[in-house]
A and B are shown apart, each in its own frame.
Chain A
Amino acid sequence: MIISTTSLISLREFFSNHQILICFNGPISTNVIGEIGSALKKHIESNHAPELEVMDVFSVYIEMSQNIRNYATSNGFSDSESSATVVIAAVEAGHYAVCAGNLVEMEDGKALLKRIHELADCDKAQLKLLYKQQLRQPHTQTPGQGAGLGLIEIARRSSQPLEASLDPLGPGRAFFSLRAII
Chain B
Amino acid sequence: MSAMPDESQTSIPGLEMETNGHYAIAMRDLHVYYGDFLAIKNINLKVARQKITAIIGPSGCGKSTLLRAVNRMNEQIGDARTEGAVFFGGHNIYEPQVDPVEVRRRIGMVFQKPNPFPKTIYENVAWGARVNGYRDDMDALVEDSLRRAALWDEVADKLDQSGLSLSGGQQQRLCIARAIAVRPDVILMDEPCSALDPIATLRIEDLMHDLSDQYTIVIVTHNMQQAARVSDFTAMMMLDEADRAGMMIEYDKTDTIFTRPSDQRTEDYVTGRFG
A and B from one complex: no
Q: Which residues of A contact B (CB under 8 A)?
A: none
